[in-house]
Structure formats: structure tokens, C-alpha cells
Amino acid sequence: MKNKRKVVDLFCGAGGLTLGFEKQNFESVLAIDMWSNAIDTFNNNREKKVGIVKDISEVNEDFIKQYVKEHVAGVIGGPPCQGFSLAGRRSEDDERNKLYQEYFKTLSIIKPDFFVIENVAGILSMKNGEVKEDIIKRAKKIGYNVYLDKLIASDYGVPQNRVRVFFVGIKKELDKGNFEFPKKFSYKVTCEEAISDLPSLDNNEDNTKYKFLPNSEYQKYMRKNSNVVYNHEQTSHTDETRKLISMVPEGGGIKDLPESVRGDRKYSSLLRRMNSKAQSNTIDTGHRTYFHYKENRILSVREAARIQSFPDDYIFSGSKVNQYKQVGNAVPPLLAEQVAKSIVNYLYGSEK
């Protein structure tokens, strides 16, 4: 096994993007985020505690030199995407939209072989495409060619129809001019294949013990280093809420309810129930109106983490609300791994 290549993760969150790169023999030497709960999760799941609570606007050359002692192969990260999201109201003046500019400031200090920026699809149309063009322009100015593509997580073994944009920058002197994003898998993983072995939360089962042996390759992969179920707790619902959930059919949503029950709820993505035989909708940071395909409740943190492709031995810290947010904000590790694999093959050859 070759020595591990080094990466720095900006806006690392709970560490989904880093985890994918670690699967391709990368090692994080520095990871920063403003959110202490996410940094706790990042560090608690790694032998080397390189996660630091830090405002990226305060990162300078002296700070980088303090933590980065070796050549860094890549800088990776997903600047907060709320300002770009197509799911809610977008504001072009949202301060979070400027954080990618701080990303490039740090990138110009480290000067890695490559960089990766992950974000929601809305970044492509923000300001009529000006943000996308600005990212490309900034990258070229400091010596990188940029490739970008919209990837659907379910095409890469993740049981979720999550659409995200990836910008991959390659240092010009290393670039051969033909980088390709990962090819789609020949199969897709369903919700049932992803989470059916987790204990029921409706039947007073022990929520730390698996229901049965893995019955899918995905479950085997998720449980590879785990004998205990973590972060799998029931959310208290009122009888009224459970009754409402029970009226939503599998794979259905608010439009399937009688008008008398819908009331003034107009948002079509409200009150959705998983389809056990298909892929999940995008796991977001709230999870308050997305229901288990069989049980009358929202998903547990562990079920959401499974849908995001976090293995079962990856444990989330903080309050349950914070855990949901960490999971929802994360890059699916299996998707990140495929992007990392394409970069490794392109820059360093197929060997890890």
C-alpha cells in the first residue's frame, strides 16, 4: 500500500466527503468547520483528531503552516449551500454565497494537485450562471482547469435520489485535458435493501440490535465493522400525528390525502412516505415530514445515515436535532468515494 495522500477539508461538516476520500487512501491533515457538534463527530470517528472549529475567513498562511507540514494532494469541501438551494427561497445577497470565495483564498495558499467543490444544483443558475463562471474564473486565475457535472447519488450505490454538482479542479501542469466523472453503476439500491435490517421502533424492540442478518450487499457493507446499532432512537409523535402519517400511502405524499385532511398545506413535498422498492428522496436537514415506508414515524438518525451511505460504525454526536442536521448536510460517502476514485485514476494511476 502506497503512503496515503493528504487532503484538507474545508466546511467539513460531519465528514462525509472526507470519508469517501479516505476509502481511496487519502488522509485528512486538516478539516475545518464553524459547527462544533459536526467537528466532534468528525474527530470522534477518526484516530487523528484533525478537525478544528474555525471560521474560514480567519484562515491565513500562518494558520495553514501550523497544521499542514506535508504536500497536500487535494483540497475538498462543500461551502454551505442554503443560499444556492432550489428547494427554498434563494437570496443572491446571502452571505453564505460568498463563502466559496474564501475557499479559493485558502486554495491559493495550499496549492494542491486538485480541488473538489460540492454543492446543490442551484449554484449553476445562481445570478444567471455568474456564480458558476466566477468559480471557473477564480480557479483558472490560480492555475487550475475546471471540470463540472451534476451527479445523482443513486447512480453510485447510494439509496437516494440526491442531485449535486461537483466542480473538480486539476492543476494545469498536471492536467491531460480529459478528466471524466465516474461512470454510473449498473444497479441501484432500494430503501428496503438499505434499512430493513434495522430494529423496529414501533414494536418495543431493542433499538441497538439488528433485526436479522444482512439480506443485501448494501446491508453487509454498512455493518462491516459494527455489531451494535447507534443513533437509532424513536421520535415522539402525538396520536394525531401518527394517524395523519398512517393515511399517507407508501411512496405517496400530501396529494394522496383527502382535501379535508390536507387543509391549507399546499407544498407538494410535504408529508411524503418512502417507497420501499425505490430510492429515497433527498435526505435534508429536518426530516420532519418524510416517513418510514412501513412504520408511522419519521426516520431515525441511523436510518437517515444509512440512506446517506454512512456505515453503522460512524457515530453522530450532539443532540438528536444536531445529528439530523449533520446527516442531511453531508456528502454521501459512497458518492464521494467514486469522485475520489476518478481523481486518483486520472492523476496518479489506478493504484491506490
Give the catalytic positions in this structure: 81
- The residues, any chain, with a CB within 8 Å of residue 154's CB and separated by 6 or more, are 160, 161, 162, 188, 189, 279
- The residues, any chain, with a CB within 8 Å of residue 161's CB and separated by 6 or more, are 152, 153, 154, 279, 280, 281, 282
- Rounded to an integer, what distance in angstroms lies between the CA atom of residue 198 and that of residue 306? 10
- Rounded to an integer, what distance in angstroms lies between the CA atom of residue 352 and that of residue 337? 12
Residue 16, φ and ψ in degrees, nearest 5: -65, -45
Is the Cβ–Cβ distance between 305 and 232 less than 8 Å? no
Residue 288, φ and ψ in degrees, nearest 5: -80, -15
The residue among 196, 194, 199, 164 whose CA lies nearest residue 181 is: 164
Q: Which helix (H) or strand (E) holds 13?
A: none
Q: Of all residues in the chain, what percent are helix, strand and coil, respectively (each to 5)?
A: 35, 15, 50
Is the Cβ–Cβ distance between 193 and 274 less than 8 Å? no
Q: Using alpha carbons only, give the angle 115, 121, 126 rounded to the nearest 5 degrees.
A: 95
- Rounded to an integer, what distance in angstroms lies between the CA atom of residue 278 and that of residue 269? 17
Is the Cβ–Cβ distance between 41 and 326 less than 8 Å? yes
- What is the chain's length? 352
Residue 322, classed as helix, strand or coil, is helix
Is the Cβ–Cβ distance between 3 and 317 less than 8 Å? no
Q: How many CB atoms lie under 10 A from the CB of residue 185? A: 14
Bridge-based pairing state of the strands 163-171 and 114-120: antiparallel
